[in-house]
Amino acid sequence: MLTAAIVAILVTMVLALIRAFLGPTEYDRMLAANSFGTKTVLLIALGGYALSWNSFLDVALLYAMVNFVGTIAVMRFFEYSTPVEPSEEGEQTS
Amino acid sequence: MSSIISHLIEWVSGFFLLAGGFLCISGGVGLLRMPDFFSRIHASGMTETLAAPMLLCGLMLQMEWSLDLVKVLMILIFILATNPTATHSMAKAALHGGLRPLVKEPGDDEKGEVSSKT
Amino acid sequence: MHYLFIAIALYAFWLLLSGHYVALLLALGGLSVLIVVFFLLRMDRVDGEPSTLRPSLKFFRYIGWLLWQVVLSNIALARRVWDPALPIRPTWGKLDTKLPLPLEKALYANSITLTPGTLTTDVRDDHLMIHCLSPEELEELRKGEMERRIKDIGV
């Protein structure tokens, strides 16, 4: 079961990489990168247990934190690179 | 008696791992299939809000009782607590960057970009 | 009192992560906890009012309900993703809210984002901007069950 889950995580990582390459906008690429990072945390946790590494969970926890901070940092950079005021949006569906 | 319980734990753990793996792949497929950025966020959220907890719960059920178990629980809580913030920051950055959600009207056949103001 | 609680929680966190109980590491842990609490004092001076969410029984009941909602909407979304026709109709609209406190509003927006299928893109004084995969989900939110439950916590 552990092996099946690891294979599923690897497949998802490949799918996220395809989206990161295709990507039309930079936001899509960042979304794929964020998703990839979460999958890496899961892969370290499950794979480390399966291969009985030492202190793999510390690595996974640290990776989760770095992934979060990295996403926020890159998105702040994108957010203020173009000076657009958010407009008051109305209802857009019927 | 104890062998029954350990078998049960193994079954539940296997179910969690398989369901988590399936949800993980569906999130990846959704990431590829969805038509625009804002709907892709939902697909990515699916892998983070349910697939990750399920996989980690499956892992927790397999481990023996130790400090590592609490660490896995902490990773789980951390992923769940940070996911909305990261997602919201991405959506807000995309809105600031001028990207507008694709809105499909009920009567429309082709996908039309609806942007009230840019 | 409040800071003492934070310091104890941080030290427990340190002990949990390190797993070694020798004098040097315990002293280093105490030192870093002191530094963090000192920074927290300075930050609260900037921030104004430190508003906290007390972990109560009602709060945990809400978390349990929220996790159940997350499971339900995940199943619905997974079904949609694997459907060959991809039956989605992305919608972007206003959701009015009457929650007065910023903390309640933040909890509401985060809960909406955590549920797959709905996403908060903006938070204003009296409404949130919601993007969701079908208009039905927005209607479901407008019925206001989640809002009522957050009010019940009583921050």
Token code pair at residue B65: 């009782």
Angle between helices B37-46 and C57-82 (to 10 degrees): 120
Determine how many CB atoms are found less than 10 A away from the CB of residue C60.
Answer: 11
pLDDT tens readout for residues A36-91: 999 999 999 999 888 888 888 888 889 999 999 998 888 888 777 655 555 544 44
Q: For A91, which residue in chain C has the nearest alpha carbon? A: C93
Residue C52 lies in a domain: no
Q: Which residues of C touch B38 (CB under 8 A)?
A: 90, 92, 119, 121, 131
Is the pLDDT at C52 greater than 70? The verdict is no
Whether residue C153 has pLDDT greater than 80: no
Any chain B CB within 8 A of the CB of A27?
A: yes
| Segment C110-126 mean pLDDT | 84
Average pLDDT over residues C30-49: 79
Residue entry with tokens 């490949």: A14
Does C86 score more than 50 pLDDT? yes
Domain of residue C30, residue span: 2-47
Mean local confidence (pLDDT), B41-48 = 85
Give the count of beta carbons closer than 10 Å to the beta carbon of residue C88: 21
> What value does the mean pLDDT take over residues C129-136?
84
A37 vs A62: CA distance, rounded Å? 11
Region B45-62: mean pLDDT is: 87
> Quick one: closest CA in A to C91, which residue?
A93
Mean pLDDT of B67-86: 87
pLDDT in the model for residue A92 = 44
User: What is the DSSP-derived secondary structure letter of residue C100?
Assistant: -
CA gap A66, A37 in Å, rounded = 9
Residues C75 and C145 occupy one common structural domain? yes
Residue A34 within any structural domain of the chain: yes
Task: Give dist(CA C152, CA C107) in Å, integer.
Answer: 13
The burial class, CB within 10 Å (0-12 / 13-18 / 19+), for B53 is buried
Comparing A7 with C137, which gets the higher pLDDT? Answer: A7
Name the DSSP letter for residue C84.
T
- Length of chain A in residues, anyone? 94
Interchain CB distance below 8 Å, B92 and C121: yes
H helices present in chain B, as ranges? 2-33, 37-46, 52-62, 67-96
Residue A86: closest CA among chain C residues belongs to which residue?
A: C122
**Same domain membership, residue C117 and residue C87:** yes
DSSP C144: T
Pair (C92, C29) in one structural domain: no
pLDDT (0 to 100) of residue B49: 86
Among residues C17, A66, C122, the alpha carbon closest in space to that of B82 is found at A66
Q: What range defines the domain where residue A67 resides?
A: 2-79
Output the pLDDT for position C35: 92
Alpha carbon B57 to chain centroid, angstroms = 14
Q: Which of B54, B87, A79 lies closest to C111, judged by CA?
A: B87
- Same-domain pairing of C43 and C66: no
Same domain flag for C123 and C145 = yes
Please tell me the least confidently modeled range out of B50-64, C37-51, C108-122, C127-141. Answer: C37-51
Please give the Cα distance from A34 to C26 (Å, whole number).
35
CA dist., res. C102 & res. C81, Å (int): 35
Q: Quick check: is A38 in a domain?
A: yes
Q: How far apart are the C-alpha atoms of C109 and C122, rounded to whole Å?
A: 9
Choose among B41, B42, B76: nearest CA to B58: B76
Lowest mean pLDDT: which of A74-78, B79-83, C16-20, C87-91?
A: C16-20
Note whether C93 contacts A92, CB cutoff 8 Å. Answer: yes
- Co-location of C130 and C148 in the same domain: yes
Are C64 and C28 contained in the same domain? Answer: no
Task: With cut-offs at 50, 70 and 90, classify the pLDDT of residue B9.
Answer: confident
pLDDT given for residue A13 in this prediction: 92
> What tokens does B109 get?
């056949």
Per-residue model confidence (pLDDT) at position A94: 37
Chain-chain contact of B93 with A78 (C-beta, under 8 angstroms): yes
Q: What is the mean pLDDT of residues C2-23?
A: 82
Is the pLDDT higher at A67 or at C139?
A67
Tell me if C102 is assigned to some domain: yes
Other beta carbons within 10 angstroms of residue B83's beta carbon come to 22
Confidence of residue C133 (pLDDT cuts 50, 70, 90): confident
Residue A19 lies in a domain: yes
Six-digit token pair at B103?
A: 């809105």
Tokens 């969701």, residue located: C132
C138 in the same domain as C110: yes
Most confident of A13-22, B32-41, C56-65: A13-22
Same domain, C22 and C78: no
Where b means 16+ CB within 10 Å and e means fewer, B29-39 reads: bbbebbebbbb
For B23, which residue in chain A has the nearest alpha carbon?
Answer: A8
Range C90-108 average pLDDT: 82
Q: Is residue A94 part of a domain?
A: no
Q: Which residues of B touch A82 (CB under 8 A)?
A: 96-98
For chain A, what is the domain count? 1
Mutate to test the interface with A, among C16, C129, C131, C133 (most CBs of A within 10 A): C129
pLDDT above 90: residue A10: yes
Considering the domain architecture, whether residues C7 and C67 belong to the same structural domain is answered as: no
* B55 contact partners, CB below 8 Å, separation of at least 6: A5, A9, A42, A45, A46, B16, B17, B20, B21, B24
Interface contact flag, C94 A93, Cβ < 8 Å: no
Q: C119 contacts in B (CB within 8 Å)?
A: 38, 41-42, 45, 87-88, 91
Q: What is the pLDDT of residues B93-107, one digit of tens each?
A: 888 877 777 776 544
Domain identity same for C21 and C72: no
| Chain A hits for B69, Cβ within 8 Å | none
User: Is residue A24 in some structural domain?
Assistant: yes
Question: Could you tell me if C71 and C118 lie in one domain?
Answer: yes
**HSE on the CB side for C148, CA within 13 Å?**
6
Find where tokens 């092996």 sit: A3
